[in-house]
Amino acid sequence: MTEEQRMQRELRSVRPRHDDPELPDDITANDLDRIARNELKTLTKENAETVGRHLAMAARVIDENPQLAHQHVMSAARRAGRIGVVRESLAITAYATGDFALALRELRTYRRISGSNDQLPLMVDSERGVGRPDRALELGRSVDRSTLSPSVQVGLAIAMSGARLDLGETDAALVELEIPQLNPNTAFSYSPELFAAYAEVLSELGREDEADEWLERASRADAALGASGDDDETIEIEEMEEDDDDALADFAADAGDDDDDDESVDAGEAARAVAAAGLGDAPATAVDPASAVEVDDADDQTNAEDDAAASVSQDDETEPDAASPKA
């Protein structure tokens, strides 16, 4: 089968028709970021505008209504299924609605189109979502982590730790999180989530005092980052008494006022754990199977990633309604 035939096969829909959700007049393709708009330039001007509006609307509503966001991205996918950001966005909204099987297939398609491993953490977590923590670990180990950006490394570590917890391997789950980015003295945008995940595993191990310390560090990091308003800035975290609320408030205020260039370093390329359209992870909710776009992503490759996807299509009809497995 040629690549062209493969793509045509993937774009077939289970449903013969799809009703586009309404687009408000105030939303335009210009609401997307520059990277996403550039990807749409291969389309006709009219089609690019329509696709862009659906993606922008999905980004607007995904937090409060992930199912509606998914409907908008489905409309975009029917018009521009060969565009990487569209398939990536479809995966993210599928994940947000709890359809982990569809999310996994779309992430594999996105990776083949783009050549990017930036969504590897979401792929690993989707394997967990369909009840395959062993394959999640295998997939996570299939990529050299040194080739990933720091934030993607963190997301992968959290997903791998969650897979270990699924298997009851609590000690190994802690080890997965003990990476260079687990630095209690500095904070990037990924630090609060990493610190909180570490605290959760410590709590599972019965090490409650240490868990409380890391939860407090997660809270301080989040406060400092919120005050600075710059996700790429390195914030120094000072240890302080847990009940010293005044000191914490002063610290957060100081972080926001710090303009010394010597205090910040480049965090590297930010992980595309969200679609270029601006979509982000959202809590999983019940999914309406009738609304999903079916794609057949069978592949002749024999690596672990393709072995995982080959069985996804067999799982679709029996997929449990699972909550987000994110650790």
**Contact at 8 Å (CB) between 208 and 214?**
no
Cβ neighbors of 111 (< 8 A, separation 6 or more) are 117, 119, 123
Q: Convert the pLDDT of each residue in 165-210 to its tens digit.
A: 999 999 999 999 999 999 998 889 999 999 999 999 999 999 999 9
Whether residue 157 is found in the same domain as residue 88: no
Q: Convert the pLDDT of each residue in 275-286 to its tens digit.
A: 334 454 333 332
Quick one: average pLDDT of 33-48?
Answer: 94
Q: In terms of C-beta density within 10 A (0-12 exposed, 13-18 middle, 19 or more buried), how is residue 44 classed?
A: exposed
**Contact at 8 Å (CB) between 310 and 298?**
yes
Residue 301 is assigned to a structural domain of this protein: yes
Whether residue 104 is found in the same domain as residue 212: no
Q: Is the dihedral of CA 137, 84, 93, 282 positive or negative?
A: positive
Whether residue 264 is found in the same domain as residue 306: no
CA distance 112 to 114: 6
State yes or no: pLDDT of 55 exceeds 70. yes
Whether residue 18 is found in the same domain as residue 62: yes
Q: Is the dihedral of CA 100, 106, 110, 111 positive or negative?
A: positive
Q: What predicted TM-score, i.e. pTM, was given to this entire model? A: 0.67
Residue 303 is assigned to a structural domain of this protein: yes
Cβ neighbors of 4 (< 8 A, separation 6 or more) are none
Cβ neighbors of 259 (< 8 A, separation 6 or more) are none
Residue 141 is assigned to a structural domain of this protein: no
pLDDT for the residue numbered 225: 87
Residue 283 is assigned to a structural domain of this protein: no
CB-hemisphere CA count at 13 Å for 324? 16
Whether residue 264 is found in the same domain as residue 199: yes
pLDDT for the residue numbered 326: 52
Residue 136 is assigned to a structural domain of this protein: no
Whether residue 112 is found in the same domain as residue 157: no
Residue 272 CA: distances (Å) to CA of 35, 104, 268, 276, 320: 12, 16, 12, 7, 28
> Which among 54, 51, 31, 33 is positioned nearest to 42, based on CA atoms?
51
Whether residue 208 is found in the same domain as residue 165: yes
Whether residue 68 is found in the same domain as residue 171: no
pLDDT for the residue numbered 19: 81
Whether residue 69 is found in the same domain as residue 161: no
Quick one: average pLDDT of 133-162?
Answer: 97
Write the single-letter amino acid at 114. Answer: S
Whether residue 297 is found in the same domain as residue 266: no
Whether residue 307 is found in the same domain as residue 248: no
Q: Convert the pLDDT of each residue in 220-264 to its tens digit.
A: 999 988 865 554 444 555 444 444 444 333 433 343 343 333 332
Which residue has better confidence, 200 or 303? Answer: 200
Write the single-letter amino acid at 326. Answer: K
Residue 288 is assigned to a structural domain of this protein: no
Determine the structural domain holding residue 3 and report its residue range: 1-116+293-311
Whether residue 9 is found in the same domain as residue 100: yes
Residue that is written with structure tokens 């969650």 in the block: 162
Total tally of structural domains belonging to the chain: 2
